[in-house]
Every structure is written in structure tokens, then in C-alpha cells.
Amino acid sequence: MNDAQPKPRSRIQQENRRRILDAALDMFSQHGYRGTTLDQIAEAAGLSKPNILYYFGGKEEIHVTLLNNLMRTWLAPLERLAPEGEPLEELLGYIRRKLQMSRDFPRESRLFANEILQGAPRMGPHLESGLRPLFDAKCRLIADWVAAGRIAPVDPGHLIVSIWATTQHYADFEAQLAVLMPERDALWRGAEAHLEAMFAKLLTP
């Protein structure tokens, strides 16, 4: 229904679009949508403002593009939660992947958090069409595991929400954690150990 056009982008187009999106991700994730100006993005990208508007239709189009890109990488870890493996290992693996994403892609995590915090004004449909089916499917998978007695009884939905909450928190609230637990390396190691232990204990039948 929309831009599934080919996209025969020249070398320079690709490079400049990438720079703009990278700069915009920096800004939007730190200052939110309205807190970010085109001039900031332009300066961070090393381009002039009109030049940026040559590559994107406007501020909102940049933001939406980022959100669309985000959705894919964001769903990936959950998609890999598969019925074939050992349930406990599958879930702990998911937790590990999710925590890794918080550490390696904190900007993406904050962009998402900002968008949701503000009521998901530009993402509502995506949640409904992209996230929800996946969430429901994985809830069913977990419910099956519970029914089969392969993991301890647990509300699948709230389990997934707990995993999101705990893992994303380390990216989204980094500014707070930097004050409370200043040793960065120890923080991530401690986080992984704690979350694995916590969810293992919760899920072991």
C-alpha cells in the first residue's frame, strides 16, 4: 500500500541517507521527536538543512523511517523463540539476546521508549499489525510449555512483559544507573547474571 517501490538509490544517496538516519537516531533517542530540530540533525550529519530535505520529505518522514527500521530489529529476538528447543534454554536465550540489544543498541531502545511514552502517536498501527500477532503467538507457545509441565506455571503475557521491562530498563534508564552503579562493565555482567538467575528460578518447574 505504500513505499514498497524498487529503490534504485545511487551510491551517494545511500551514504547520505544513512548518515542522516544515524544522526537523527542520535537526536531523536536523546531528545524525543519534538525536542529534536532539523538543524541539530543537519549538523550532526554534516549536511545543510535543505540538503536533508532533499533526501527526506520532512522531519516526520525521517522519524517514521527510523521507527520502521526499528520494528524489524526489535522483533527479531522474540521471533527466534522457537518451539523446538528446551523451553528454559529458549527463554533464557531470549533474555540474553534482549539484554544484549539494550547494551549494543541503546539508542534504538530509547527511540522506542520515547515513542511509547508519548502514546505511540506514529507507531500505533505498527504495534497492532507487527508486534501483536507475534506477541500472541509466543504467548501461546509459552502457554503450551506450561501446560506440558515443561516450565513452571506462569502468565505468558506478563512473563514477556517482565523480560522486556527488565532488559530494556538497562538501556532506557542508563542515566539513572550511571549514578547508582557507576562501574559500567560490572553493571552489564551483574545484570546478565541477575536476570538469568531470576528467570531461571521463576521458570524451573
Partner DNA sequence: TCGTGAGTTTACCAAATGGTAAAAAAGCGG
Partner DNA sequence: CCGCTTTTTTACCATTTGGTAAACTCACGA
Question: Can you give the binding site for DNA, defined by CB under 7 A?
Answer: 10-13, 16, 36-39, 47-51, 53-54, 58-60
Rule CB under 8 A: say whether 46 interacts with a copy of itself: no
Cβ atoms within 10 Å of 52's Cβ, excluding its own: 23
Query: Quick one: what does residue 129 bind among a copy of itself, DNA, none, with the CB cut-off 5 to 8 Å set by partner type?
Result: none
Question: Taking contact as CB under 8 A, which single stretch among the options 16-24, 50-58, 80-88, 188-196 is the one that binds a copy of itself?
Answer: 188-196
Angstrom CA distances, 184 to 24, 163, 168, 189, stand at 26, 21, 16, 9
Alpha-carbon Rg of the chain, whole angstroms?
Answer: 19
Cβ atoms within 10 Å of 75's Cβ, excluding its own: 15
Using alpha carbons only, give the angle 76, 78, 83 rounded to the nearest 5 degrees: 120
Query: Quick one: what does residue 144 bind among a copy of itself, DNA, none, with the CB cut-off 5 to 8 Å set by partner type?
Result: none
Q: Which long-range contacts (CB under 8 A, 24 or more apart) does 145-150 make?
A: 145/87, 149/205, 150/87, 150/88, 150/205
Residues 54-73 that bind a copy of itself (CB under 8 A): none
Rule CB under 8 A: say whether 137 interacts with a copy of itself: no
Cβ atoms within 10 Å of 197's Cβ, excluding its own: 10
Query: Quick one: what does residue 134 bind among DNA, a copy of itself, none, with the CB cut-off 5 to 8 Å set by partner type?
Result: none
Integer Cα distance of 194 and 183 in angstroms:
16
Nearer to DNA, 36 or 114 (CB): 36
What minimum distance in Å lies between the beta carbon of 25 and DNA? 15
Residues that bind a copy of itself (CB under 8 A): 30-35, 110, 113-114, 116-120, 124, 127-128, 131-132, 135, 152, 154-155, 157-159, 161-162, 164-166, 168-170, 172-173, 175-177, 179-181, 190-191, 193-195, 197-198, 201-202
